[in-house]
Copies of this chain bind each other. A is one copy, B any other.
Protein backbone atom coordinates (compact mmCIF):
# COMPACT_ATOMS: atom_id res chain seq x y z
CA UNK A 1 0.00 0.00 0.00
CA UNK A 2 2.98 2.32 0.13
CA UNK A 3 5.53 3.21 -2.43
CA UNK A 4 9.17 2.70 -1.77
CA UNK A 5 10.39 6.27 -1.86
CA UNK A 6 9.24 6.35 1.75
CA UNK A 7 12.25 6.91 3.90
CA UNK A 8 14.44 8.85 1.53
CA UNK A 9 13.95 12.37 2.75
CA UNK A 10 13.67 12.32 6.53
CA UNK A 11 14.69 15.61 8.01
CA UNK A 12 15.10 16.91 11.53
CA UNK A 13 12.59 19.43 12.82
CA UNK A 14 12.79 22.62 14.90
CA UNK A 15 9.79 23.43 17.04
CA UNK A 16 8.78 26.77 18.44
CA UNK A 17 5.76 28.50 19.84
CA UNK A 18 5.11 31.57 17.68
CA UNK A 19 2.36 34.12 17.21
CA UNK A 20 0.79 31.57 14.84
CA UNK A 21 0.73 28.85 17.50
CA UNK A 22 2.91 25.76 17.59
CA UNK A 23 5.28 25.67 14.65
CA UNK A 24 7.23 22.75 13.17
CA UNK A 25 9.99 23.49 10.69
CA UNK A 26 12.60 21.37 8.97
CA UNK A 27 16.14 22.55 9.66
CA UNK A 28 16.54 23.53 6.00
CA UNK A 29 13.22 25.49 6.15
CA UNK A 30 11.85 23.57 3.17
CA UNK A 31 8.82 22.36 5.14
CA UNK A 32 6.93 24.22 7.82
CA UNK A 33 3.65 23.64 9.64
CA UNK A 34 1.93 25.79 12.22
CA UNK A 35 -1.23 24.93 14.07
CA UNK A 36 -3.39 27.26 16.10
CA UNK A 37 -6.93 27.39 17.37
CA UNK A 38 -9.04 30.35 18.37
CA UNK A 39 -12.11 30.74 20.52
CA UNK A 40 -14.40 33.74 20.68
CA UNK A 41 -16.84 34.00 23.58
CA UNK A 42 -19.57 36.59 23.32
CA UNK A 43 -22.26 37.99 25.55
CA UNK A 44 -24.85 40.25 23.90
CA UNK A 45 -27.98 41.96 25.16
CA UNK A 46 -30.77 42.41 24.19
CA UNK A 47 -29.56 40.28 21.22
CA UNK A 48 -26.57 39.75 18.96
CA UNK A 49 -27.89 40.27 15.44
CA UNK A 50 -27.81 43.60 13.69
CA UNK A 51 -31.37 44.73 12.96
CA UNK A 52 -32.08 44.16 9.25
CA UNK A 53 -35.18 46.29 9.15
CA UNK A 54 -37.66 48.19 11.25
CA UNK A 55 -39.33 45.06 12.64
CA UNK A 56 -36.08 43.57 13.82
CA UNK A 57 -35.62 46.14 16.55
CA UNK A 58 -38.71 44.82 18.27
CA UNK A 59 -38.06 41.16 17.41
CA UNK A 60 -38.09 38.82 20.40
CA UNK A 61 -34.41 39.08 21.14
CA UNK A 62 -32.76 36.75 23.61
CA UNK A 63 -29.80 37.74 25.67
CA UNK A 64 -27.06 35.39 24.46
CA UNK A 65 -23.87 34.01 25.85
CA UNK A 66 -22.22 31.87 23.25
CA UNK A 67 -19.09 30.57 21.62
CA UNK A 68 -19.32 32.72 18.55
CA UNK A 69 -16.29 31.33 16.76
CA UNK A 70 -14.21 28.19 17.26
CA UNK A 71 -11.50 27.96 14.65
CA UNK A 72 -8.73 25.56 13.79
CA UNK A 73 -5.95 27.03 11.64
CA UNK A 74 -3.25 25.01 9.95
CA UNK A 75 -0.74 26.62 7.65
CA UNK A 76 2.84 26.50 6.52
CA UNK A 77 4.90 25.77 3.46
CA UNK A 78 5.98 22.67 1.57
CA UNK A 79 9.05 21.84 -0.53
CA UNK A 80 10.01 25.53 -0.71
CA UNK A 81 9.48 28.49 1.66
CA UNK A 82 7.52 30.29 -1.06
CA UNK A 83 5.03 27.45 -1.65
CA UNK A 84 2.59 28.21 1.14
CA UNK A 85 -0.67 26.65 2.26
CA UNK A 86 -3.39 27.52 4.71
CA UNK A 87 -6.49 25.76 6.05
CA UNK A 88 -9.09 27.23 8.37
CA UNK A 89 -11.94 25.24 9.83
CA UNK A 90 -14.96 26.48 11.78
CA UNK A 91 -15.26 23.73 14.38
CA UNK A 92 -18.65 24.53 15.89
CA UNK A 93 -20.42 24.53 12.55
CA UNK A 94 -18.22 22.04 10.73
CA UNK A 95 -17.46 24.45 7.87
CA UNK A 96 -14.18 24.38 5.97
CA UNK A 97 -13.54 28.10 5.45
CA UNK A 98 -10.11 28.43 3.88
CA UNK A 99 -8.12 25.95 1.84
CA UNK A 100 -5.56 27.49 -0.41
CA UNK A 101 -2.03 27.34 -1.81
CA UNK A 102 0.08 30.40 -2.43
CA UNK A 103 3.05 30.79 -4.72
CA UNK A 104 4.90 33.71 -3.13
CA UNK A 105 8.31 33.57 -4.77
CA UNK A 106 8.28 37.13 -6.03
CA UNK A 107 6.94 40.08 -4.12
CA UNK A 108 5.58 41.70 -7.27
CA UNK A 109 3.65 38.67 -8.51
CA UNK A 110 1.97 36.11 -6.26
CA UNK A 111 -0.53 33.40 -7.20
CA UNK A 112 -3.17 31.97 -4.93
CA UNK A 113 -5.56 29.10 -5.67
CA UNK A 114 -8.28 27.55 -3.54
CA UNK A 115 -10.93 29.13 -1.32
CA UNK A 116 -10.43 32.21 0.84
CA UNK A 117 -11.86 35.61 1.75
CA UNK A 118 -11.92 37.56 -1.48
CA UNK A 119 -9.44 40.40 -1.29
CA UNK A 120 -11.90 43.22 -1.89
CA UNK A 121 -12.39 45.40 1.20
CA UNK A 122 -10.43 45.88 4.39
CA UNK A 123 -13.21 45.28 6.92
CA UNK A 124 -13.95 41.79 5.60
CA UNK A 125 -10.35 40.77 4.97
CA UNK A 126 -9.17 41.56 8.51
CA UNK A 127 -9.53 38.37 10.53
CA UNK A 128 -12.37 38.39 13.04
CA UNK A 129 -9.67 37.86 15.65
CA UNK A 130 -7.86 41.09 14.73
CA UNK A 131 -10.83 43.43 14.56
CA UNK A 132 -11.02 46.69 16.43
CA UNK A 133 -14.73 46.40 17.26
CA UNK A 134 -16.56 43.30 18.47
CA UNK A 135 -17.89 42.56 14.98
CA UNK A 136 -17.94 44.01 11.48
CA UNK A 137 -20.33 46.85 10.70
CA UNK A 138 -23.88 46.70 9.32
CA UNK A 139 -22.59 47.21 5.77
CA UNK A 140 -20.67 43.92 5.68
CA UNK A 141 -23.83 41.88 5.12
CA UNK A 142 -24.94 43.68 1.92
CA UNK A 143 -21.52 44.40 0.38
CA UNK A 144 -19.08 41.61 1.26
CA UNK A 145 -17.99 39.16 -1.44
CA UNK A 146 -17.04 36.77 1.36
CA UNK A 147 -15.24 33.53 0.59
CA UNK A 148 -15.10 32.22 -2.98
CA UNK A 149 -13.15 29.59 -4.88
CA UNK A 150 -10.81 30.49 -7.69
CA UNK A 151 -7.47 32.06 -8.47
CA UNK A 152 -5.87 35.36 -7.49
CA UNK A 153 -2.87 37.27 -8.76
CA UNK A 154 -1.39 39.91 -6.50
CA UNK A 155 1.76 41.82 -5.77
CA UNK A 156 3.38 44.99 -4.59
CA UNK A 157 5.28 47.19 -7.00
CA UNK A 158 7.49 50.27 -6.65
CA UNK A 159 7.82 49.50 -2.96
CA UNK A 160 8.89 52.39 -0.79
CA UNK A 161 8.43 54.95 -3.55
CA UNK A 162 5.67 57.47 -4.03
CA UNK A 163 4.08 55.06 -6.52
CA UNK A 164 4.03 52.16 -4.06
CA UNK A 165 1.06 50.04 -5.24
CA UNK A 166 -0.43 46.76 -4.01
CA UNK A 167 -2.71 45.08 -6.55
CA UNK A 168 -5.07 42.08 -6.41
CA UNK A 169 -6.90 40.48 -9.34
CA UNK A 170 -9.21 37.55 -8.72
CA UNK A 171 -11.18 35.21 -10.96
CA UNK A 172 -13.68 33.28 -8.84
CA UNK A 173 -16.66 30.98 -9.24
CA UNK A 174 -18.83 33.61 -7.58
CA UNK A 175 -21.10 30.96 -6.09
CA UNK A 176 -20.00 31.34 -2.48
CA UNK A 177 -18.20 29.26 0.11
CA UNK A 178 -18.22 25.53 -0.55
CA UNK A 179 -19.27 25.91 -4.20
CA UNK A 180 -16.51 24.44 -6.35
CA UNK A 181 -18.38 24.79 -9.63
CA UNK A 182 -20.04 27.83 -11.10
CA UNK A 183 -23.73 27.86 -11.99
CA UNK A 184 -23.03 29.07 -15.51
CA UNK A 185 -20.08 30.41 -17.45
CA UNK A 186 -20.27 33.87 -15.84
CA UNK A 187 -17.47 33.98 -13.31
CA UNK A 188 -16.84 36.61 -10.65
CA UNK A 189 -14.11 39.12 -11.46
CA UNK A 190 -12.58 41.28 -8.76
CA UNK A 191 -9.87 43.89 -8.98
CA UNK A 192 -8.29 46.08 -6.31
CA UNK A 193 -5.63 48.77 -6.45
CA UNK A 194 -4.15 50.02 -3.21
CA UNK A 195 -1.87 53.05 -3.18
CA UNK A 196 0.56 53.05 -0.24
CA UNK A 197 1.37 56.70 -0.83
CA UNK A 198 3.77 56.96 2.13
CA UNK A 199 5.75 53.96 0.87
CA UNK A 200 4.64 51.71 3.74
CA UNK A 201 1.75 49.20 3.75
CA UNK A 202 -0.84 49.41 6.53
CA UNK A 203 -0.93 46.01 8.25
CA UNK A 204 -4.16 44.00 7.91
CA UNK A 205 -5.37 44.32 11.49
CA UNK A 206 -7.38 46.78 13.50
CA UNK A 207 -5.72 48.90 16.24
CA UNK A 208 -2.17 50.29 16.09
CA UNK A 209 -0.75 47.78 18.55
CA UNK A 210 2.73 48.21 17.10
CA UNK A 211 2.84 51.94 17.84
CA UNK A 212 4.06 52.86 14.34
CA UNK A 213 6.74 55.53 14.61
CA UNK A 214 6.34 56.40 10.93
CA UNK A 215 2.84 57.01 9.58
CA UNK A 216 1.33 54.31 7.36
CA UNK A 217 -1.51 55.09 4.98
CA UNK A 218 -3.41 53.79 2.00
CA UNK A 219 -6.13 54.70 -0.45
CA UNK A 220 -7.66 51.78 -2.29
CA UNK A 221 -10.18 51.29 -5.08
CA UNK A 222 -11.87 47.98 -5.77
CA UNK A 223 -14.53 46.75 -8.16
CA UNK A 224 -16.29 43.46 -8.77
CA UNK A 225 -18.78 41.97 -11.18
CA UNK A 226 -20.64 38.68 -10.89
CA UNK A 227 -23.68 36.91 -12.33
CA UNK A 228 -25.19 34.24 -10.11
CA UNK A 229 -28.43 33.22 -8.37
CA UNK A 230 -27.39 35.30 -5.32
CA UNK A 231 -27.55 38.89 -4.12
CA UNK A 232 -25.28 38.45 -1.11
CA UNK A 233 -22.68 36.05 0.34
CA UNK A 234 -21.86 34.91 3.86
CA UNK A 235 -20.18 32.00 5.65
CA UNK A 236 -23.23 29.92 4.71
CA UNK A 237 -22.55 30.56 1.01
CA UNK A 238 -24.82 32.44 -1.36
CA UNK A 239 -28.09 34.00 -0.16
CA UNK A 240 -30.50 36.86 -0.72
CA UNK A 241 -30.74 40.37 0.65
CA UNK A 242 -34.04 41.57 2.08
CA UNK A 243 -36.62 41.93 -0.67
CA UNK A 244 -34.98 39.64 -3.24
CA UNK A 245 -36.57 36.32 -4.18
CA UNK A 246 -34.55 33.07 -4.37
CA UNK A 247 -32.65 33.26 -7.65
CA UNK A 248 -32.17 31.01 -10.64
CA UNK A 249 -29.03 30.47 -12.70
CA UNK A 250 -27.82 33.82 -13.98
CA UNK A 251 -30.71 35.81 -12.51
CA UNK A 252 -28.74 38.44 -10.62
CA UNK A 253 -25.98 40.50 -12.19
CA UNK A 254 -24.14 42.39 -9.48
CA UNK A 255 -21.71 45.25 -10.13
CA UNK A 256 -20.09 46.97 -7.22
CA UNK A 257 -17.21 49.25 -6.30
CA UNK A 258 -15.55 50.58 -3.20
CA UNK A 259 -13.19 53.31 -1.97
CA UNK A 260 -11.16 52.61 1.14
CA UNK A 261 -8.76 54.54 3.35
CA UNK A 262 -6.60 53.42 6.26
CA UNK A 263 -4.00 55.07 8.45
CA UNK A 264 -1.90 54.13 11.49
CA UNK A 265 0.45 56.28 13.55
CA UNK A 266 1.69 56.24 17.12
CA UNK A 267 -1.23 54.30 18.60
CA UNK A 268 -3.89 55.94 16.43
CA UNK A 269 -5.68 53.97 13.72
CA UNK A 270 -8.25 54.99 11.13
CA UNK A 271 -10.14 53.16 8.41
CA UNK A 272 -13.12 53.89 6.19
CA UNK A 273 -14.96 52.41 3.22
CA UNK A 274 -17.53 53.77 0.78
CA UNK A 275 -19.55 51.11 -1.06
CA UNK A 276 -21.91 51.14 -3.99
CA UNK A 277 -23.64 48.09 -5.46
CA UNK A 278 -25.99 47.63 -8.40
CA UNK A 279 -28.15 44.51 -8.64
CA UNK A 280 -29.65 43.83 -12.05
CA UNK A 281 -32.43 41.25 -11.85
CA UNK A 282 -32.53 39.64 -15.32
CA UNK A 283 -35.75 37.78 -14.55
CA UNK A 284 -37.89 40.61 -13.18
CA UNK A 285 -36.05 43.23 -15.24
CA UNK A 286 -35.43 45.46 -12.25
CA UNK A 287 -32.31 47.29 -11.10
CA UNK A 288 -31.59 48.21 -7.48
CA UNK A 289 -28.86 50.51 -6.23
CA UNK A 290 -27.42 50.07 -2.71
CA UNK A 291 -25.06 52.44 -0.93
CA UNK A 292 -23.18 52.18 2.34
CA UNK A 293 -20.20 53.49 4.25
CA UNK A 294 -18.40 53.36 7.56
CA UNK A 295 -15.75 55.42 9.34
CA UNK A 296 -13.77 53.99 12.21
CA UNK A 297 -11.00 55.22 14.48
CA UNK A 298 -9.21 54.01 17.58
CA UNK A 299 -6.54 55.29 19.96
CA UNK A 300 -4.44 54.15 22.89
CA UNK A 301 -4.98 57.13 25.15
CA UNK A 302 -2.10 56.08 27.38
CA UNK A 303 0.10 57.81 24.80
CA UNK A 304 -1.58 61.09 25.66
CA UNK A 305 -2.63 60.62 29.28
CA UNK A 306 -0.09 58.57 31.28
CA UNK A 307 -2.65 57.52 33.88
CA UNK A 308 -4.59 55.47 31.26
CA UNK A 309 -3.47 51.83 31.23
CA UNK A 310 -1.28 50.87 28.28
CA UNK A 311 -3.49 47.83 27.49
CA UNK A 312 -6.61 49.92 26.84
CA UNK A 313 -7.75 51.11 23.44
CA UNK A 314 -10.88 53.17 22.80
CA UNK A 315 -12.47 52.92 19.34
CA UNK A 316 -15.55 54.27 17.62
CA UNK A 317 -17.43 53.61 14.39
CA UNK A 318 -20.18 55.22 12.39
CA UNK A 319 -21.85 53.21 9.62
CA UNK A 320 -24.68 54.06 7.27
CA UNK A 321 -26.58 51.85 4.84
CA UNK A 322 -29.19 52.68 2.23
CA UNK A 323 -30.77 49.46 0.87
CA UNK A 324 -32.38 51.24 -2.07
CA UNK A 325 -31.01 54.50 -3.42
CA UNK A 326 -34.32 55.33 -5.11
CA UNK A 327 -35.97 55.69 -1.72
CA UNK A 328 -34.26 58.50 0.17
CA UNK A 329 -36.06 57.96 3.46
CA UNK A 330 -34.62 54.47 3.78
CA UNK A 331 -31.56 54.51 5.98
CA UNK A 332 -29.96 52.34 8.63
CA UNK A 333 -27.29 53.79 10.87
CA UNK A 334 -24.93 52.35 13.44
CA UNK A 335 -23.00 54.30 16.09
CA UNK A 336 -20.61 52.13 18.10
CA UNK A 337 -18.11 52.72 20.89
CA UNK A 338 -15.70 49.98 21.95
CA UNK A 339 -13.15 49.45 24.70
CA UNK A 340 -10.44 46.87 24.03
CA UNK A 341 -8.23 45.42 26.72
CA UNK A 342 -5.21 43.65 25.22
CA UNK A 343 -3.69 41.00 27.47
CA UNK A 344 -0.18 39.75 26.81
CA UNK A 345 -0.28 38.49 23.23
CA UNK A 346 -2.05 41.48 21.64
CA UNK A 347 -4.93 40.43 19.41
CA UNK A 348 -4.31 36.81 20.50
CA UNK A 349 -5.87 37.43 23.94
CA UNK A 350 -8.26 40.34 24.06
CA UNK A 351 -11.36 41.51 25.91
CA UNK A 352 -13.74 43.93 24.17
CA UNK A 353 -16.81 45.78 25.41
CA UNK A 354 -19.01 47.57 22.90
CA UNK A 355 -22.05 49.86 22.99
CA UNK A 356 -24.06 50.29 19.80
CA UNK A 357 -26.91 52.62 18.92
CA UNK A 358 -29.00 51.76 15.86
CA UNK A 359 -31.20 54.27 14.06
CA UNK A 360 -33.55 53.12 11.30
CA UNK A 361 -35.99 54.93 9.06
CA UNK A 362 -38.03 53.77 6.10
CA UNK A 363 -40.47 55.38 3.64
CA UNK A 364 -43.48 54.18 5.62
CA UNK A 365 -42.29 54.72 9.18
CA UNK A 366 -40.92 57.84 10.76
CA UNK A 367 -37.89 56.13 12.31
CA UNK A 368 -36.89 54.08 15.27
CA UNK A 369 -33.81 53.21 17.26
CA UNK A 370 -32.32 50.61 19.58
CA UNK A 371 -29.35 49.98 21.85
CA UNK A 372 -27.10 46.93 22.20
CA UNK A 373 -24.32 45.99 24.58
CA UNK A 374 -21.79 43.25 23.86
CA UNK A 375 -18.75 41.92 25.64
CA UNK A 376 -16.33 39.51 23.99
CA UNK A 377 -13.23 37.52 24.82
CA UNK A 378 -11.13 36.38 21.88
CA UNK A 379 -8.23 34.03 22.53
CA UNK A 380 -5.82 32.19 20.23
CA UNK A 381 -4.35 28.96 21.56
Contacts and interface: CB of A to CB of B under 8 A. Distances in A.
A379 B96 CA distance: 19
Interface stretch (A136-144, A181-189, A226-234, A294-302): A181-189
Interface string A8-23: 1111110111111011
A289 interface: no
A254 interface: no
Contact of A379 (B12, B101, B181, B347): B101
Given A181-B64, A343-B79, A380-B78, A19 B39 contact: no
A153 interface: no
Interface in A206-261: 209-210
Interface in A30-45: 30-31, 33, 35, 37, 39, 41
Most B-side CB within 10 Å, residue of A1, A23, A41, A113: A1
Interface stretch (A66-74, A155-163, A323-331): A66-74
A12 B16 contact: yes
A13 B22 contact: yes
Interface residues of A, number: 80
B66 A203 contact: no
A6 interface: yes
A364 interface: no
Nearest to A8: B19
A76 interface: yes
Given A39-B99, A78-B379, A78-B380, A9 B3 contact: no
A63 interface: yes
B203 A3 contact: yes
B87 A5 contact: no
Interface string A166-197: 00000000000010111011000000000000
Contacts of A8: 19
A24 B24 CA distance: 11
Contact of A7 (B10, B19, B30, B99): B19
A78 B11 CA distance: 22
A139 to B, nearest CB: 21
Given A37-B74, A39-B99, A209-B5, A63 B17 contact: no
B96 A92 contact: yes
Contacts of A182: 62, 64
A22 B18 contact: no
27 contacts: A1-B125, A3-B203, A3-B204, A4-B210, A5-B209, A7-B18, A9-B18, A10-B17, A13-B22, A39-B85, A39-B99, A39-B114, A41-B114, A62-B182, A63-B185, A64-B180, A66-B149, A67-B180, A76-B381, A78-B349, A79-B345, A79-B349, A85-B381, A87-B91, A92-B178, A94-B94, A94-B96
Shortest beta-carbon contacts, A-B, top 8: A66-B180, A3-B205, A13-B15, A11-B17, A78-B381, A10-B16, A1-B204, A17-B26
